[in-house]
Structure 1
Amino acid sequence: MHFQHASEIWRDFPELVPGVMSMAGVTADVHVDDRLANYGEIAAKRLATCSEGELPEIQAWRRAFSAMGLKPTRYRCASESLLRRFRKEGALPRLHPLIDLCNAMSLAYAIPVAVFDVSRISSCVEVRYAAGDETYVTFSGETEHPPPGEVVFADAEAMAHARRWTNRQSGHSAVRGTTSDVLIVAEALHDTARADVEALVAALAGEARDLWPVSPEPAVLTASSPRYNF
């Protein structure tokens, strides 16, 4: 299996920095409370001096959404949505230890982090412009078909695992209590994206090794080396 961004995405968004890793052996029976609190504290300190929309990480995604023809205050990247909820409610709902950890790190770094159940993916995941024949399944089980030109995470069977790039993941490949093998993708577009994404995936890999018997192999992709095999 492999993950990559299409050449057209690199062409249109040359500032893109994706961090990727896969893990086998994740379980839902670990405790992450202390780790979540640490990352939440980092996010709270950043939000104490400005709103999430003023963060450079979020501003970069807003510009990208505008470039895609999307209204950025209607369709927000995942990290902005998490920060917005965290600012209003002071906490995020608990879903699964790995998802909770990735959400907390997304808060701290203000970078979208997507997690996919590998068993629900066919052969590959490519971030590309939709052809119009892709199928997307919502968390409530409804089926949607992204319009041609929308940026999606698509597999070999044209299943869309995320819509509007970093806006919304699919319920089809969402992590469940029985999930064991996962693919994690963090993407950023701001000026210090490379250093920040490298730090994020390294920190996440370290946290994962402490929590589970896993051997994550994080990588930061580039236009000249865009493919991650897992």
Structure 2
Amino acid sequence: MHFQHASDIWRDFPGLAPGAIFAAGLTGDVSADEQVARFGELAAKRLATASEGELPEVQAWRRAFSAMGLKPTQYRCASESLLRRFRKEGALPRLHPLIDLCNAVSLAYAIPVAVFDVSRISGYVEVRRAAGDETYLTFAGGTEHPPPGEVIFADADGRAHARRWTNRQSGHSAVRDTTTDVLIVAEALHDTAGKDVESLTAALAAELSALWPVTPRSALLTPAEPRFTFAT
């Protein structure tokens, strides 16, 4: 299997810096409480001096959403939505140790982090513009068809695993109690995106190894080397 961005995504968003991680052998019976608290403290310190909308990481995604024809305060990137809820409520709901960890890392770095159960993906995942015939499953169980031109995460069967790029993932490939193998993707567009995604990817891979008996594989993608290949 592999993960990549279409060439026109790289062309239209030249500041893009993606990082990808593959990990196999995960379970839902560990505690990520210490990690969640530690990364949450980092996020709280940033939010003590600036709102999420003032952070350069979020501002870059707002500009990208505007460029895609989306109202950025109506459709927010995933990290902004998490930060907004964290600022208002002081914590995020606990869902699964892996999701809790990735959400906490996303908060600390203000960078969207997507997690996909690879057993629910066909062939590959490509960030590309929709043709209009792809299928997206909501968390409520409904079916949607992203309009032509919308940036989605698509697999070989034409299933959209995320809509509006970093706005919302699909319920189809969401992590569940039976999930063991995952693809994790972090993407940023701000001025220091490259080094920040590198730091995030390294930190998250280290936390995965500390919590589970796994050996994550990771890569930083570029226009010259846009594909991350992994075995399931």
With normalisation by structure 1, the TM-score equals 1.00
Deviation at 1:76, TM superposition (A): 0.1
Name 1:137's counterpart in structure 2: 137
- CA distance, structure 2, for counterparts of residue 13 and residue 109 of structure 1: 20
Written as runs of structure 1 = structure 2, the 5 A alignment for 1:81-160 is 81-160=81-160
- CA distance, structure 2, for counterparts of residue 160 and residue 32 of structure 1: 29
Residue type matched to 1:216 in 2?
Answer: P
- Match of 2:161, SS? strand
Deviation at 1:217, TM superposition (A): 1.2
Residue type matched to 1:16 in 2?
Answer: L
Name 1:195's counterpart in structure 2: 195
- CA distance, structure 1, for counterparts of residue 54 and residue 182 of structure 2: 32
| 1:69 has 2:69 as partner | yes
Kindly provide the CA deviation profile for residues 186-216 of structure 1, in whole angstroms up to 9, marking residues without a partner as x.
0000000011000000000000001111111
Name 1:228's counterpart in structure 2: 228
Residue type matched to 1:143 in 2?
Answer: T
Name 2:38's counterpart in structure 1: 38
- CA distance, structure 2, for counterparts of residue 123 and residue 23 of structure 1: 17
Deviation at 1:164, TM superposition (A): 0.0
- CA distance, structure 2, for counterparts of residue 12 and residue 200 of structure 1: 24
- Match of 1:50, SS? coil
- CA distance, structure 1, for counterparts of residue 210 and residue 38 of structure 2: 15
Name 2:174's counterpart in structure 1: 174
Q: Percent identity?
A: 78
Deviation at 1:20, TM superposition (A): 0.2
- Match of 2:152, SS? strand
For structure 2, the 5+ residue unaligned runs are: none
For structure 1, the 5+ residue unaligned runs are: none
- Match of 2:217, SS? coil
- CA distance, structure 2, for counterparts of residue 21 and residue 106 of structure 1: 14
- CA distance, structure 2, for counterparts of residue 7 and residue 203 of structure 1: 28
- CA distance, structure 2, for counterparts of residue 75 and residue 209 of structure 1: 34
Deviation at 1:169, TM superposition (A): 0.1
Aligned length: 230
Deviation at 1:218, TM superposition (A): 1.2
- Match of 1:166, SS? coil
Residue type matched to 1:166 in 2?
Answer: T
- CA distance, structure 2, for counterparts of residue 63 and residue 121 of structure 1: 30
Residue type matched to 1:156 in 2?
Answer: A
Deviation beyond 4 Å, 4+ runs, structure 1: none
- Match of 1:199, SS? helix
Name 2:3's counterpart in structure 1: 3
Name 1:184's counterpart in structure 2: 184
Deviation at 1:75, TM superposition (A): 0.1
- CA distance, structure 1, for counterparts of residue 220 and residue 13 of structure 2: 16
- CA distance, structure 2, for counterparts of residue 55 and residue 162 of structure 1: 23
Deviation at 1:38, TM superposition (A): 0.5
Name 1:208's counterpart in structure 2: 208
Kindly provide the CA deviation profile for residues 148-168 of structure 1, in whole angstroms up to 9, marking residues without a partner as x.
000000000000000000000
Residue type matched to 1:131 in 2?
Answer: A
With normalisation by structure 2, the TM-score equals 0.99
